[in-house]
């Protein structure tokens, strides 16, 4: 396929594929596609996402534009280069491990995802600090998360538990996929101040993240983990890069 990004049929075909997956999610791998075509489709889905987000962008521009307090705080805490590295590489890696890695069930994947979720819980609920904060609680948070993963792995890898979880994942993948998308999207409300209007507009404010979760989940299952990670990093790098350029003017 030469120059697929200039062909309308390519986007219609891509949209049809992901729409079918959303309607009936499954864990079947798309093995017939080459690495080149998988990269093409990952980029194509990123372009489709941008197109479908045009109404949301217009809403933010013309109707209501809440302040991204998370982005402001990170830009204040970090230099532009560190901001790019943390927001463009580290946080996407953490989020993809938490939400997408274990969509394909393996004991090691689930252990890693649970470890990351525990880190989130300790950070936000127990110590009420930032994920990237290297403070007095950091060692406790990171050591606890790693310890839980190490403890859980042999348990999840036991024949009985592994067999039951494999069956559970196969039977309930649709719910697992939908829940992962919604939780991923809605947790990003923390980017904004928790006032009533932001809570009411939660589905609109987090629609970009929901669309990313839908696409990343599809890409992870069909192509492999490295592709949604690339998708997520690219998305964050573009957003952060644009914000830094606008701030610099």
pLDDT tens digits for range 6-51: 788 999 999 999 999 999 999 887 767 888 899 999 999 999 999 9
Torsional sign, CA 104, 107, 110, 113? negative
C-alpha R_g of the chain: 19
Nearest Cα neighbor of 51 from 104, 10, 94, 93 is 10
CA dihedral 15, 38, 3, 54 (to 10 degrees): 40
List C-alpha distances in Å: 198 to 66, 102, 124, 206.
8, 31, 19, 10
Supply 12's token pair. 């219609």
Can you tell me the distance from the alpha carbon of 185 to that of 99, in angstroms, rounded to the nearest whole number? 11
When pLDDT is cut at 50, 70 and 90, the band that residue 74 belongs to is confident
- The percent of residues in the chain predicted with pLDDT above 70, rounded, is 97
Instruction: Note the residue count of the chain.
Output: 249
Helices 91-99 and 173-186: crossing angle, nearest 10°?
Answer: 150
pTM score of the predicted model: 0.90
Can you tell me the distance from the alpha carbon of 106 to that of 39, in angstroms, rounded to the nearest whole number? 24
Residue 246 has pLDDT above 90, yes or no: no
Residue 249 has pLDDT above 70, yes or no: no
Strands (E), 51-182: none
Residue 2 has pLDDT above 80, yes or no: no
Can you tell me the distance from the alpha carbon of 211 to that of 72, in angstroms, rounded to the nearest whole number? 23
Can you tell me the distance from the alpha carbon of 22 to that of 9, in angstroms, rounded to the nearest whole number? 20
| pLDDT score, position 212 | 93
């Amino acid at each position: 396929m030469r120059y697929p990004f200039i062909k309308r049929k390519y986007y219609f075909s891509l949209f049809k594929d992901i729409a079918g997956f959303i309607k009936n999610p499954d864990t079947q791998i798309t093995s017939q596609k080459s690495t080149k075509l998988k990269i093409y489709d990952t980029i194509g889905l990123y372009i489709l996402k941008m197109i479908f987000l045009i109404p949301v962008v217009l809403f933010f521009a013309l109707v209501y534009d809440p302040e991204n307090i998370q982005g402001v705080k990170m830009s204040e805490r970090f230099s532009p280069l560190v901001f790019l590295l943390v927001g463009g590489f580290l946080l996407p890696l953490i989020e993809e491990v938490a939400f997408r890695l274990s969509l394909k069930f393996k004991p090691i994947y689930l252990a890693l995802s649970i470890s990351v979720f525990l880190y989130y819980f300790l950070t936000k609920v127990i110590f009420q600090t930032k994920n990237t904060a290297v403070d007095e609680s950091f060692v406790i948070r990171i050591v606890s998360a790693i310890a839980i993963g190490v403890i859980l792995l042999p348990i999840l890898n036991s024949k009985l538990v592994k067999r039951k979880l494999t069956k559970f994942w196969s039977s309930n993948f649709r719910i697992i996929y939908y829940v992962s998308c919604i939780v991923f999207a809605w947790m990003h409300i923390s980017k904004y101040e928790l006032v009533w209007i932001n809570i009411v507009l939660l589905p609109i404010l987090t629609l970009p993240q929901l669309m990313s979760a839908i696409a990343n989940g599809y890409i992870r299952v069909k192509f492999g983990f490295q592709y949604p990670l690339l998708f997520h990093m690219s998305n964050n790098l573009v957003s952060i890069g644009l914000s830094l350029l606008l701030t610099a003017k």
